Amino acid sequence: MRRRFGQALRLGVSHDALALVQTSRWGGEAVLLAERPYAAALPDALAALLDGAGRAGWPLTIVLADDLVRLWQVTPPADSTRLADLEAAAALRFQQLYGEPAAPWQFSAGWDAARPFLAAAMPRALLGALEQGASAHKLKAVEIVPQFLGLFNRWRGALRPGAWFGVLHDGVLTLGACDRGAIAAVRAARVPEGAGAAWLAEHLDREALRLNLPAPAKLQLCGDLPPAWIGARASMLGAEAPRGWSAAAQLAVSGSAA
């Protein structure tokens, strides 16, 4: 299919499913092109998903579910001046938090020698499979990003003073606890069935105590939010995903400006 200016593809990758969505920056709704479950052989599922797409040459953004990646805060070493110092600090903190070697993971971060920064680790094997699959179908993988980071980068300019950032996806609430305008910690928790405004308020206060931070005046959220959450304590960023879309399809359009 011939690509029009502003059109692009987005691939959502969860732990058990893939979804391919077409977007347009210049109007028009996102279109769900294909979905595919997978158990173990992701390359085979990806090939089957892309075989019938007919979008050779199109740019592709890949969004990874946050349970496939690692997110953590890094404090830069005192008097650090080199990128290598920051990378070493990130690797050391990763090993302390997760108890596993850093070699199988690819790191990305907003490297900063002056203040703590957020880092992400993505499995090298997964990245390799996705990049090879895209290349085999002549797609241009322009970005591979965890869902939380993609959404935070999209909406960080809209965050109000004293607010925290959050993502609700597939029953999991991921909080970006903010301190003086920067994310100080990332915390994820499964939301109980039927959780209402009282649960959310208690959860926010509890996490603030654990992190020794002031409780947020506002939680600004992305995702399909329970109506009871919208009010004095929480507000929604962006539009809801199309009704009836699967979690993988919703993942694909996360952070899209189209």
Q: What is the residue extent of each domain of the chain?
A: 7-64+124-147, 67-123, 150-253
Tell me how far apart the alpha carbons of residues 25 and 5 are, in angstroms, rounded to a whole number: 8
Q: What is the sign, positive or negative, of the torsion defined by CA atoms of 179, 177, 214, 240?
A: positive
What is the fold of 150-253?
A: Nucleotidyltransferase; domain 5 (3.30.420)
Across all residues in the chain, what is the average pLDDT?
Answer: 91
The residue among 27 and 67 whose pLDDT is bigger is 67
Q: Give, as one character, the DSSP assignment of residue 228.
A: G
Tell me how far apart the alpha carbons of residues 46 and 210 are, in angstroms, rounded to a whole number: 40
> Please, which pLDDT band fits residue 27 given cuts at 50, 70 and 90?
low
Question: E strands of 113-198, at which residues?
Answer: 117-123, 140-146, 163-169, 172-179, 182-190
Each residue's pLDDT tens digit, 45-97: 999 999 988 888 899 999 999 999 999 999 999 888 899 999 999 999 999 99
8 A C-beta contact, residue 254 and residue 64 = no
Tell me how far apart the alpha carbons of residues 43 and 76 are, in angstroms, rounded to a whole number: 37
> Please, which pLDDT band fits residue 37 given cuts at 50, 70 and 90?
very high
> Please, which pLDDT band fits residue 1 given cuts at 50, 70 and 90?
low
In the predicted model, is pLDDT for residue 198 greater than 90? yes
Report the predicted TM-score, pTM, of the whole model to 2 decimal places.
0.91
Average pLDDT over residues 148-176: 93
> What pLDDT does residue 251 have?
94
Question: What are φ and ψ of residue 173, in 5° steps?
Answer: -100, 120
> Please, which pLDDT band fits residue 26 given cuts at 50, 70 and 90?
confident
> What pLDDT does residue 144 have?
96
> Please, which pLDDT band fits residue 258 given cuts at 50, 70 and 90?
low
Neighbouring CB atoms inside 10 A of 145's CB total 20
In the predicted model, is pLDDT for residue 20 greater than 90? yes
Q: What is the CATH class of 7-64+124-147?
A: alpha beta
Percent of the chain with pLDDT over 90: 74
Instruction: Please tell me if the domain spanning 7-64+124-147 has the same topology as the one spanning 150-253.
Output: yes
> What pLDDT does residue 5 have?
66
